[in-house]
Amino acid sequence: SALKRLKQSLSSAGLIGPTARTQHGKNKQKKTRGAAGDAGAMAERKKRLAQVEQALNPFETKTTRQKHEVVGRKTKGIVGRPGLTKQVGEEKRRKTLLVEMHNKNKAGGIVDRRFGENDTNMSLEDKMLERFTKERQRRSRSGGAGARTFNLEDDGSGDESGLMNLTHMGQSLADIDEFDDYGLGASDDEQGASGKGAISRDIVSQLHFGGFEPVDSNADPDRQKTRAEVMKE
């Protein structure tokens, strides 16, 4: 079994058994010589343990084969330990990514952005006054003419320069006195055959298909009559 093979490997390496006790007695004798002997014995023991571990599981190490071997040249990274690298990576991810995953969607807080809230030199009245001033400034900047136009609380007594102006043919309706001149004052008897609310036939023929310019039949007497005018006569 694996346990028996481990015991045999440790015994053959002199780490356990009678050989280990003999080595332990020798180490006691070397203790009187100084700390250098203890460091050498510990390094030798670690080296033997590493050899036993490698012999038990040869897949713990990965050796990269060199294409050209040069005598006397020492290269790093030829022998790697994938198992140890994997373990170190898992420990690293456990300390970083696992903590981030546990804290996901749980980190939050309220940032008080009220003006003067963190200022200890301002009184409550000063804070309220500054907040009111900032709010008025913000509304004046973001409001504009559109906000005043669609403000339901406005009674219309304010400035009318910002209101929406309706125009017709490039002219404001507020400046037009006679709507009949522009074909906008049609009465009920001038409505078409479709009934109330329909546009007059003359307006359709003159404005919709006439380039939005009223046609004056008396302007040019030498003008050739159209087929519709001939049939009408």
- Which residues partner with 171 through β-bridges? 168
Cα–Cα distance, 73 to 171 (Å, whole number):
95
What confidence category does residue 163 fall into, taking pLDDT thresholds of 50, 70 and 90?
Answer: very low
Cα–Cα distance, 160 to 140 (Å, whole number):
16
Cα–Cα distance, 22 to 14 (Å, whole number):
9
Report helix, strand or coil for 124.
helix
- pLDDT tens digits, residue range 135-146? 888 887 766 555
Q: Is the pLDDT of residue 230 over 70?
A: yes
- pLDDT tens digits, residue range 196-219? 567 777 777 666 655 555 555 555
What confidence category does residue 162 fall into, taking pLDDT thresholds of 50, 70 and 90?
Answer: very low
Select, from the ranges 83-97, 98-112, 158-172, 208-222, the one with the highest average predicted confidence (pLDDT): 83-97
Return the domain boundaries, the chain: 2-62+80-93
**pLDDT score at 136:** 86
What confidence category does residue 150 fall into, taking pLDDT thresholds of 50, 70 and 90?
Answer: low
Select, from the ranges 31-35, 72-76, 180-184, the one with the highest average predicted confidence (pLDDT): 72-76
Q: Is the pLDDT of residue 183 over 70?
A: no
**pLDDT score at 14:** 77
Question: Residue by residue, what is the 3-state secondary structure of 84-118?
Answer: HHHHHHHHHHHHHHHHHHHCCCCCCCCCCCCCCCC
- pLDDT tens digits, residue range 38-74? 777 788 888 888 777 777 777 777 888 878 888 888 7
pTM metric for this prediction: 0.26
**pLDDT score at 164:** 59
Q: Is the pLDDT of residue 23 over 50?
A: yes
| CA 13 vs CA 10, 28, 44, 45, 67: distances in Å | 5, 19, 11, 9, 33
Share above pLDDT 70 across residues of the chain, in percent, rounded to a whole number: 61
pLDDT, averaged across the chain:
72
Higher pLDDT, 108 or 127: 127
